[in-house]
Structure 1
């Protein structure tokens, strides 16, 4: 939407994602990422960790369920979504403001890890044609575009 602040942040999960459900039953995963910049220290003549930025994230529906089943503390992730500012009263009655990400998508970073993808299907959604992983052949008579490709 126009006027929204869209962000992409790379960081590590500080804990396993937690799955909750709204009163209407909609699933939402909550997690925090720590994004730590590398900065050059002139005195030491080397790169060092800068101050980490901690951002709370919410990921809704099937994507949230997938995240809780796929991600663990320490996972390096790439989060895209809308930056939101939320104001609330804490336990002592003090007014607080926090900045969070309403995540649209989360991906595992392959910089320091390998991943195996297991596709999930929405109930009632058409399933795609068979695909092959790198180095695998499709079943005989199949093509990446489906059985009726030209």
Structure 2
């Protein structure tokens, strides 16, 4: 019988910049501390009140880990979904210790608190790359990517007359979207 794990979602703020902990030759792995403070409205005082802040360690692996390290910074609002896990170890005196961590399956900025922009990476073996009409694509490296972590990003710049325009009236794009 397969073990079932419930996914939970937590919102909060990045408490420290993500750090890598993987060893050479192993898949990318990282962690960061996250602060989540629940609030409630006190009808008696007619004010919002904070409950104590819950601090949790978030761990991520592989592509998610790489993207977290490049995207999230201390103080930014985040939303993380994943499964809870218990880590155990013995301290310096041999006494057993444990803590609960959130093993992330998805993470990103909390869009209730601001806006963000996605930069999708082109994989070296991706055969479904967009083609610009009548223009040669301009290829360049994303300046925000650490050297050697991902493939170069293909940047396609349309001619001015081919640029897509958004119509607020109809809620649709007019033209090609790249």
State the TM-score, normalized to the length of structure 2: 0.68
Deviation at 1:44? Answer: 3.6
Rg larger in structure: 2
Aligned to 2:22: 21
Alpha-carbon spacing, 1:46–1:133, altered in 2? closer, same or farther (3 Å): farther
Pairing 1:56-67 to 2, within 5 Å after superposition:
56-67=57-68
Q: Which has the higher contact order (CA 8 A, sep 6+)?
A: 1
Aligned to 1:68: 69
Q: Unpaired runs of 5+ in structure 1?
A: 143-150
Deviations 1:36-84 (A, max 9, x none): 0002346643111111111111111111111111110011111111110
Deviations 1:18-45 (A, max 9, x none): 1232353211121111110002346643
Q: Unpaired runs of 5+ in structure 2?
A: 132-162, 167-172
Distance 1:20 1:37 in 2: 30
Q: Partner of 1:69: helix, strand, or coil? A: helix
The aligned length equals 140
Deviation at 1:117? Answer: 1.0
Aligned to 1:138: 176
Off by >4 Å, runs of 4+ in structure 1: none
Indicate conservation of the 8 Å contact 1:88/1:95, yes or no: yes
Distance 1:28 1:60 in 2: 4
Q: Partner of 1:115: helix, strand, or coil? A: coil
Indicate conservation of the 8 Å contact 1:121/1:127, yes or no: no
